[in-house]
Amino acid sequence: MKNLRTSFERFCYANRYKGIPNLMLYIAVGTAIVYLVGQMAGNYALYSILCFDRASILHGQVWRLFTYPLTYGTGNSSVLLIAISLLCYYSLGQAMENIWGTLKFNLFYFSGMILMDIYCLIFGGQADVTYLNLSLFLSYATLYPDAHFLLLFFIPVKAWIFALFNLVIVLLDLFTMPFPYNLFSVISLANYFLFFGKDVLNVVPVSWRANFRRMVRKSKNNATAKPQPKVIQFNAGSYEASTAKPKAPYTHRCTICGKTDISHPELEFRYCSRCNGYYCYCEEHISNHVHIQ
């Protein structure tokens, strides 16, 4: 599985500029047009043509499988709320495309759409793009958990807090909404878990994960600890002992800022596969450094 994911990442990187560039811009503009036409016309004729409808799709209107994301925000939603939501989703989508590349972002968004299409065609229900757009936010929060969002435009809140709050809402919907609607959130977010794998744990603060790992290691060591025999060092003044190089007081050291796993135990350190050599970087610089060739 690890080799398959590595191969997929390499394929996406090699073809990062293929696909539909600025995908979220087209979706946001298209959604705004559908909403404004409905408001000005006083009816939702355009919405009814583009929305997901299982019976119509089975009778040949297959475009509804791909146009239902444009029907977000119809009904009694205010213009201000729709504008803020579309601007937010566009910004997040553009940031994700810049990080991943055009191809991977297209695959991410379209896979979420297709999973929802398949589920609704089998079990019925009205496909909703709300949770699909939520997966954009969770993806961004996974990559940048310490990024700040302004609640009510002036209260700074870290992205991981919003992400955990949204995941709680997803769990509540799972147990409170009737079938098949209770699984919409799980199906829409399946591509998020598919693309990130175990990296979804990055939403949890680094300090929490470090403390948890320390507790697990400590419990394992206590469970398997055995009394160690006393070691007596001989030939301490030998030539080999006097000329041996002292070991470094750390295991990992960031090539950019010099932070180590001893001076900053709460940080994670990784090695860049694109640098020509064995170079280590902290979590702040692993995605933001010039590759050494």
Predicted local confidence at residue 127, as pLDDT: 81
3-state SS, the chain, equals CHHHHHHHHHHHHHCCCCCCCCHHHHHHHHHHHHHHHHHHHCCCHHHHHHCCCHHHHHCCCCCHHHHHHHHCCCCCCCHHHHHHHHHHHHHHHHHHHHHHCHHHHHHHHHHHHHHHHHHHHHHCCCCCCHHHHHHHHHHHHHHCCCCEEEECCCEEEEHHHHHHHHHHHHHHHHHHCCCCHHHHHHHHCHHHHHHHHHHHHHHCCHHHHHHHHHHHHHHHHHHHCCCCCCCCCCCCCCHHHHHCCCCCCCCCECCCCCCECCCCCCCCEEECCCCCCCCEEECCCCCCCCCCC
**CATH class belonging to 2-203:** mainly alpha
Predicted local confidence at residue 129, as pLDDT: 82
For the chain, domain boundaries:
2-203, 249-293
Instruction: For residue range 41-62, list pLDDT tens digits in order.
Output: 877 788 889 988 899 999 999 9
Predicted local confidence at residue 180, as pLDDT: 77
pLDDT < 70 regions, the chain = 1-2, 74-77, 151-153, 202-212, 216, 221-248
Predicted local confidence at residue 283, as pLDDT: 83
